């Protein structure tokens, strides 16, 4: 009952005396005002609990029916309380009768249907707008991640360093130089092809990281160590280039030397998930070149699954745990 309808409600309960006698008018107004706020608080608590229990847009029907049932129960109880409270105030002249209660139930039923319908439609619309905004934000993050991945596919610094290593090896170890050329071709072939797939088998991603690690060892020698699992889950999948992103993130933010090598470990963990951890050996000065790579990788996972990416930073180690996903329809070949 809206405040502007207070007089109408009191006329229903009390009759013409509400407008004819001052003491009845004052008593009736105070009673209806108190009952109004009691009803508002009760219904607000009930509606919020129902929404908290069924927050998703896909739960609209369940939320609407449960809300209607809960509000109907409240209406039944509140109608009895309203008539009882009016009967306690002598100035109103109202007596407690079930006929009056039943009349309120009928009016309250109509009000409940309108209230739940309006609240349901309003909440569903707000959730739809929020989901649309979130989807757009995630799509932008995914596009940014794809753009970063595309830049990584033609990274001139990595290519220049690899060619420099090959040039230095040609006169010293021709066999190793040939292997580096072969590995470099495999790495760029995978990068160019993997971008066309949303998911790739974990085994293929690990094989790529293994080849990538061989190129890094040629460049850094004993200053880096990358440990990979021997038997990955055969049906598990990950977004392409995600493990390389985490390896590059470790290289970017940590120092390394032969006496204090940077250790990067890739291992399957319960979940099922795959964890990439590295020793923390922070550089005194970090030149950020892919500052959004980890953020965009997390956003891409949010676009693919409800399972979160877990980031843990301890005193001596830094780790990122990626959920393993379902098998794609086809893989990179």
Q: What is the DSSP string of 180-237?
A: HHHHHHHHHHHHHHHTT-S-EEHHHHHHHHHHHHHHHHHHHGGGEEEE--SS--TT-E
The CATH number linked to 208 is: 3.30.565.10
Spatial separation of the C-alpha atoms in residues 83 and 118, rounded to whole Å: 27
Least confident piece of the model among 6-10, 87-91, 175-179, 206-210? 6-10
CB 216 within 8 A of CB 224: yes
**Of the residues 96, 131, 166, which one is the last residue of a structural domain?**
131
Higher pLDDT, 159 or 267: 267
Domain membership of residue 331 (yes or no) is: no
Does 253 lie in the same domain as 317?
yes
SS3 227: strand
Angle CA 205–270–294, to nearest 5: 50
Does 311 lie in the same domain as 212?
yes
Does 162 lie in the same domain as 115?
no
Residue 61 has pLDDT above 50, yes or no: yes
- Provide the domain count of the chain: 2
Q: Give the model confidence (pLDDT) of 83-130 as tens digits.
A: 888 788 787 777 788 877 777 777 777 777 777 778 777 777 777 787
* Mean pLDDT of the chain, nearest integer: 78
Residue 332 has pLDDT above 50, yes or no: no
Domain membership of residue 269 (yes or no) is: yes
Does 160 lie in the same domain as 125?
no
Domain membership of residue 308 (yes or no) is: yes
Residue 319 has pLDDT above 80, yes or no: yes
Does 195 lie in the same domain as 119?
no
- 75 Cβ contact list (under 8 Å, min separation 6): 105, 108, 109, 111, 112
Does 115 lie in the same domain as 60?
yes
Does 158 lie in the same domain as 288?
yes
Does 180 lie in the same domain as 120?
no
Q: How confident is the model at residue 295 (pLDDT cuts 50, 70, 90)?
A: confident
Domain membership of residue 243 (yes or no) is: yes
Residue 258 has pLDDT above 50, yes or no: yes
Does 209 lie in the same domain as 301?
yes
Spatial separation of the C-alpha atoms in residues 19 and 21, rounded to whole Å: 6
Spatial separation of the C-alpha atoms in residues 53 and 36, rounded to whole Å: 26
Does 165 lie in the same domain as 58?
no
**Residue 59: DSSP 8-state:** G
pLDDT cut 90: percent of the chain above it? 14
Tell me the residue range of the domain where 87 lies. 3-131
Q: Which two tokens stand for residue 317?
A: 């180690």
Higher pLDDT, 161 or 221: 221
- Cα 42 from chain centroid? 31
CB 303 within 8 A of CB 139: yes
Does 298 lie in the same domain as 208?
yes
CB 204 within 8 A of CB 187: no
């Amino acid at each position: 009952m809206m405040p502007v309808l207070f007089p109408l409600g009191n006329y229903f309960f009390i009759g013409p005396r509400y407008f004819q006698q001052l003491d009845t008018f004052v008593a009736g107004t105070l009673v209806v005002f108190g009952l109004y706020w009691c009803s508002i608080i009760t219904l607000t608590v009930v509606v919020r609990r129902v929404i908290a229990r069924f927050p998703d847009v896909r739960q609209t029907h369940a939320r609407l029916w449960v809300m209607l049932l809960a509000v109907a129960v409240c209406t039944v109880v509140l109608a009895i309380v309203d008539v009882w409270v009016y009967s306690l105030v002598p100035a109103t002249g109202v007596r407690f009768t079930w006929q009056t209660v039943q009349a309120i139930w009928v009016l309250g039923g109509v009000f409940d249907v309108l209230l739940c319908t309006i609240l349901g439609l309003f909440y569903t619309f707000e959730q739809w707008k929020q989901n649309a905004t979130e989807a757009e934000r995630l799509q932008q993050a995914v596009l940014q991640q794809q753009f970063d991945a595309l830049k990584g596919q033609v990274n001139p610094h990595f290519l220049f360093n690899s060619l420099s290593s090959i040039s230095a090896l040609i006169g010293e170890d021709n066999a190793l130089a040939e292997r580096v050329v072969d590995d470099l071709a495999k790495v760029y072939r995978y990068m160019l092809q993997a971008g066309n797939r949303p998911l790739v088998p974990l085994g293929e991603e690990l094989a790529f990281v293994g080849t990538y690690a061989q190129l890094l060892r040629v460049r850094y020698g004993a200053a880096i160590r990358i440990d990979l699992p021997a038997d990955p889950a055969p049906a598990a999948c990950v977004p392409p280039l995600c493990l390389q992103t985490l390896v590059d993130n470790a290289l970017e933010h940590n120092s390394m030397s032969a006496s204090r090598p940077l250790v990067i470990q890739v291992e399957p963990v319960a979940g099922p998930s795959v964890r990439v951890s590295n020793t923390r050996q922070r550089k005194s000065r970090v030149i950020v070149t892919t500052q959004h790579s980890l953020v965009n990788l997390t956003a891409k996972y949010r676009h693919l699954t409800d399972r979160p990416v877990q980031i843990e930073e301890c005193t001596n180690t830094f780790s990122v745990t990626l959920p393993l996903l379902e098998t794609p329809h086809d893989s990179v070949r």
